[in-house]
Amino acid sequence: MYYILALLPLKVQQLLPAHCRGGIDLKLRFWGTRGSIPSPGPETVKYGGNTTCVELLLNDGTLILFDAGTGIRNFGAEYLKQNGNHQINLFLTHSHWDHIQGFPFFKPAYKDDVNINIYGCPPTYNKLHDILTNQMESRYFPVNFDELKSKIKFMPINEGSHPIGSATFSFIENNHPGTAYGFKVMEDRKHIIFITDNELTPPRDRATKWEQFVEFCSAADILVHDAQYLEDELKNNSGFGHSSYEQTVELGLEAGVKQLLFFHHNPGRTDNEIDVIVDTMQKKLEGRRTNMTISAAREGQEIII
Ligand SMILES: [Zn+2]
Ligand SMILES: [Zn+2]
């Protein structure tokens, strides 16, 4: 029966009581996987052109969203169509444009029966209201933030473990200009880690060391990690706050990750190029002692663990 339930659309599963969804644990869905700027077109159909937005549904039905890039627009439309549970927990990794620019187009924010908790890490937590308000100033957008009808609360995520719904959350500071945060979600024995906009080995201003990322990602069931550049490209983009595919693979191997997904795809990267890179990275694993799988996160992709 649970196998049949897993075939139902995510929003339909979400409406079922938790005991009816037993056996179905964490559910991840990608609504935007692209970095920097939306990149629609015939060459980005497979992996998608929308910027960062990832949905995570916990076993108790708690709904989590990571980031409000342009992918959040499609999520919002689907959420309203499926008459979702009217409680949205939005985690913002940081305030760079590609991670917040979808919020003004997030239709649930305009509904008076929707509650939205927006989570941020120190030190950006205190600035979240200003960040979202400023991008909706009349110079940039016709609707003011204060005109949104939903009940929006700004919530801090503190150091250590933070219970939300049936999971606990913790964060790590990324190496990224202006600061960004990666999140770990633990439910039962399942670990999902989402780290976008992170330069694993920056030339300077290192907030977090390689070994700390390895520890944070240790034995993760799923690691979604920034992989904007090839190693050759990184030489000319050092200090921009992003990692190479090669570094991301090494992190996954060293941390004993089960499933690695490349994320924050370079806006200029075509579907074919990503396919070739994934194939190349998979070949590099041959001869290494690992069961880790490698793929690139795809807009619309859903993973249930
Ligand atoms: Zn970004
Ligand atoms: Zn960024």
Q: Can you give the pLDDT at residue 12?
A: 53
Centroid of ligand 1 to alpha carbon of 51 (angstroms): 8
Model confidence pLDDT, tens digit, residues 116-173: 999 998 777 788 999 999 999 999 999 999 999 999 999 988 888 899 999 999 999 9
Q: Out of 100-104, 127-131, 300-304, pick the least confident.
A: 127-131
Q: Can you give the pLDDT at residue 7?
A: 52
Centroid of ligand 2 to alpha carbon of 95 (angstroms): 7
Neighbours of ion ligand 2 (CB under 5 A): 96, 197
pLDDT band, residue 24 (cuts 50/70/90): low
Place of tokens 């992918």: 71
Q: What's the rounded mean pLDDT across residues 54-77?
A: 97
Q: pLDDT at residue 10 above 60?
A: no
Centroid of ligand 1 to alpha carbon of 197 (angstroms): 5
Q: Which ligand is closest in space to the CA of residue 266? A: 1
Centroid of ligand 1 to alpha carbon of 259 (angstroms): 22
Least Cα distance to 128 among 99, 108, 148, 106 occurs for 99
Centroid of ligand 1 to alpha carbon of 178 (angstroms): 11
Q: Can you give the pLDDT at residue 160?
A: 87
What is d(CA 287, CA 294) in angstroms, rounded to the nearest whole number?
15
The CATH number for 2-299, chosen from 3.40.640.10, 3.20.20.220, 3.90.110.10, 3.60.15.10, is 3.60.15.10
Q: Out of 27-41, 122-136, 206-220, 272-286, pick the least confident.
A: 122-136
Q: What's the rounded mean pLDDT across residues 172-179?
A: 94
Centroid of ligand 1 to alpha carbon of 134 (angstroms): 19
Centroid of ligand 1 to alpha carbon of 264 (angstroms): 7
Q: Which ligand is closest in space to the CA of residue 98? A: 1
Model confidence pLDDT, tens digit, residues 39-60: 999 999 999 999 999 999 999 9
Q: Can you give the pLDDT at residue 16?
A: 54
What lies within 8 Å, CB to CB, of 173 at 6+ separation is 121, 179, 180, 181, 182, 207, 208
Centroid of ligand 2 to alpha carbon of 250 (angstroms): 22
Centroid of ligand 1 to alpha carbon of 93 (angstroms): 9
Pairing assessment for the beta strands 53-57 and 27-32 based on DSSP bridges: antiparallel
pLDDT band, residue 19 (cuts 50/70/90): very low
Phi, psi of 133 (to 5 degrees): -70, -45
The residues spanned by each domain of the chain are 2-299
Helix, strand, coil share of the chain (percent; to 5):
30, 25, 45
